[in-house]
Structure 1
Amino acid sequence: MNEGKYILFFFGALGAFNGLILGVYFLFLFRKRNLSSFFLGCLLLALSIRIGKSVFAYFNPALPRIYLQIGLSACFLIGPALLYFIKSTLQQTVKAPNSWKIQIAVLLGIIVVTGILVPYATYPAIWNKYFAKIIYTVWLAYIIASGFQLRVLISNLITKNNVKSAEKWILAIFSANVIVFISFAMALFFGRMYNTYFGGALIFSFVLYSMVFMYFLKGKEDPFALNASKTAAKKISFDEASASLQKLDQLMESQELFKNPNLTLSELAKAVNITPHLLSQILNDHGGKNFTSYINAFRIQEACKMMEANRPFSLEAIGYEVGFNSKSTFYTAFKRIKNTTPLSYKEKLSKTSAF
């Protein structure tokens, strides 16, 4: 191995290792953990696994094939992690919709089942000829979907139309993913060309270290917060907050928005024509609730009305009807708000009506 290859190996391996560390940090240790940081952590972990596999496999052709299988399988998750990081950041999504969970569950199921039934160690030709191309096609589809989500930011960047620092870094992460994909796709379809194979690893390392530098430069604030600190410090008057809350309550009751199980803070803010950050501030500072608690209060209120009306629904069906995603979340929210279980509440209603 010549000196140049040693340098490439060092930076590629170091970037993959630090990506793993940073991915774990965003998943479990980040001070402002949210859905966006969760998917960013997943993205960094998946990319680090894929790049780490590539670096070590290039310099060690005898690397056990299970590591090659893990590296290729990680590509299956890079795309959705990128897309949902971008969507959750732009839309300030608080809770992952069921459609996101289903897609990720399906992809994980495919990885596990395929890995067990058709392991790379036994069927390397099938993996290299067919599975790898399928994996890269899925990855490309998610990159295209991510680019569609960023179309406005890309247009603003091209026209130099007031693009925020956080938005530029979201675009940088997207661009780095595109370059990583292109470098590996070229290696897949045209052979392991020296420059292209390591281009993705080096770009990943550069963006990774830039993220770390920016993070500490900003004083450990969320580097991808779209709301500037000036906006965060903005105060709203009591009268304005009261008017917004009243308008929001009326809208929730008239249109029953709470019945949408995938309702997001961004969608609700759009309905009342204010920013998601301002809505969150109003709910917390003037309503005494966060977004989830506010929505769940309407859901539980509607569930109680259905029980009182003696609707012919099971408790689980009532939970789904009022907007909960599962029986467990319905029961937990009901107990927190009513200090009793739905079953006990319903039984108490039955005893009262009997008299």
Structure 2
Amino acid sequence: MNLGQQTLFLISGIGAVNAIAAGTYLLFSWKKKGGLPAIFLGLLLLAFGIRVAKSVFLFFNPQLCRLYLQIGLSACFFIGPALYHFFCATFSNITRMPASWKWSWGLQLAAVVVTGIIFPYRATPDIWNQYLVWIIYGQWALYVAATMVLVAIHRQRLHWGTGPGRFLLVLFASSVLVFTAYMLSLLRVAPGFYIISPLSFSVLFYVTLAFSRHRFAVTSVAKAEKKKIGDPDAQRWLQQLERVMGEQQLYKDPALSLATLAARINISAHQLSQLLNDNLGKSFATYTNEYRVREACRLIATNDRLTFEAIGYEVGYNSKSTFYAAFKKVTDTTPALYKESSVVGRR
């Protein structure tokens, strides 16, 4: 390669290498970098990086091993799902992967593996070039369209003035531009679009990174812009909350935390905290203590065999002093005085 070709190779390849590195890093540190959205961003970068790397090497080496061609096209099959689920998880603050998503990814992964085994690229290049490539790009196009609809629905939450908003807007625009360049190359609109795609990705990768306030960190739009939870969602979540706390008596678990309770009703800890504060006017500690003290009052009034300390442990407190302090704060009296008043009331 001459100097111009070497420069072109370096520029177009550096973005792919860094995207693979960034994607791998996110997949191994997703808990620290934003939870579930970080997993899908990592998958998106990894799939894009592998696809772009294949394009670069094929452009400068047309005799590239066909196994690499199959790996590159297979990775392309996961770009669309990763993009769509990243935006879904970010907009909705989803902390645990829904079962439907697991099934979707499992089936698509199985389809790629089985197809690759039955129709390896080295033995059936015509099938890949004439049929499978169109299926891959068609699936990618459907997911891009679905993501467009998702972004349109939540467009009011994507403010250019906020760091997360800018990051999401630039990431979405970059993904659409790279997809468009690859589609134009596939449709043979212009031969140069095949190398333009990797070049565009390299530039857009660093532009997107520049608009992220923290390196590879995924920040939820909902955290950047606090909005009151809509009444339909609030009522539904409150009903779910009442079920797990009242019927399942989740409050009896001494290790119960805001994050654990939020996961049980499939919302984020941030949303649960906002729900309790905005709709009930209570903190998580106050809300939990009221359930525990209410049950303690019932036991004090109906069970003479249990000591106050045993009742405290029964309703979820791990120390006598904590139970007494919470009981006094909620009822403005002590367990002993409450018992006396309940005995008098029964006479």
TM-score by length of 2: 0.65
1:10 aligned onto 2:10: yes
**Cα distance in 2, alignment partners of residues 85 and 137 from structure 1:** 19
Q: Which residue of structure 2 lines up, in the alignment, with residue 173 of structure 1?
A: 171
| Cα contact 2:17–2:49 (8 A) shared by 1 | yes
1:78 aligned onto 2:79: yes
Q: Which residue of structure 2 lines up, in the alignment, with residue 264 of structure 1?
A: 266
Secondary structure of the structure 1 residue equivalent to 2:69: helix
Q: What is the Cα deviation at residue 5 of structure 1? A: 3.1
1:46 aligned onto 2:47: yes
| Cα contact 1:227–1:277 (8 A) shared by 2 | no
Q: Which residue of structure 2 lines up, in the alignment, with residue 27 of structure 1?
A: 27
Q: Which amino acid letter does the alignment assign opposite residue 222 of structure 1?
A: A
* Of 188, 191, 210, the match for 1:190: 188
Q: Which amino acid letter does the alignment assign opposite residue 101 of structure 1?
A: K
Alignment of 1:53-64 (within 5 A): 53-64=54-65
**Cα distance in 2, alignment partners of residues 221 and 64 from structure 1:** 32
| Cα contact 1:169–1:224 (8 A) shared by 2 | no
Aligned length: 265
Structure 1 gap segments, 5+ residues each: 232-244, 289-336, 338-355
RMSD: 3.9
- Structure 2 vs 1, CA of residues 105 and 199 (structure 1 numbering), >3 Å: closer, same or farther? same
Q: Which amino acid letter does the alignment assign opposite residue 34 of structure 1?
A: G
Structure 2 gap segments, 5+ residues each: 227-236, 251-262, 289-315, 317-347
Alignment of 1:64-213 (within 5 A): 64-154=65-155, 164-190=162-188, 193-194=191-192, 196-213=193-210
Q: Deviations over 1:28-70 (max 9, x none)?
A: 1353341000110000000000000000001001110000001
**Cα distance in 2, alignment partners of residues 115 and 17 from structure 1:** 24
**Cα distance in 2, alignment partners of residues 59 and 130 from structure 1:** 25
Q: Which amino acid letter does the alignment assign opposite residue 5 of structure 2?
A: K
| Cα contact 1:97–1:262 (8 A) shared by 2 | no
Q: Which has the larger radius of gyration?
A: 2
**Cα distance in 2, alignment partners of residues 277 and 43 from structure 1:** 35
- Structure 2 vs 1, CA of residues 44 and 61 (structure 1 numbering), >3 Å: closer, same or farther? same
Q: Which amino acid letter does the alignment assign opposite residue 208 of structure 1?
A: F
**Cα distance in 2, alignment partners of residues 68 and 144 from structure 1:** 26
Q: Which amino acid letter does the alignment assign opposite residue 105 of structure 1?
A: G
Q: Which residue of structure 1 lines up, in the alignment, with residue 257 of structure 2?
A: none
- Structure 2 vs 1, CA of residues 267 and 210 (structure 1 numbering), >3 Å: closer, same or farther? same
RCO greater where, 1 or 2, for CA within 8 Å and sep 6 or more? 2
Q: Deviations over 1:293-330 (max 9, x none)?
A: xxxxxxxxxxxxxxxxxxxxxxxxxxxxxxxxxxxxxx
Secondary structure of the structure 1 residue equivalent to 2:78: helix
Q: Which residue of structure 1 lines up, in the alignment, with residue 219 of structure 2?
A: 224
| Cα contact 2:48–2:76 (8 A) shared by 1 | yes
Secondary structure of the structure 2 residue equivalent to 1:150: helix
- Structure 2 vs 1, CA of residues 18 and 252 (structure 1 numbering), >3 Å: closer, same or farther? same
TM-score by length of 1: 0.64
Secondary structure of the structure 2 residue equivalent to 1:190: coil
**Cα distance in 1, alignment partners of residues 84 and 64 from structure 2:** 31
| Cα contact 2:54–2:69 (8 A) shared by 1 | yes
| Cα contact 1:153–1:167 (8 A) shared by 2 | no
- Structure 2 vs 1, CA of residues 122 and 262 (structure 1 numbering), >3 Å: closer, same or farther? farther
- Structure 2 vs 1, CA of residues 166 and 65 (structure 1 numbering), >3 Å: closer, same or farther? same
Q: What is the Cα deviation at residue 220 of structure 1? A: 5.4
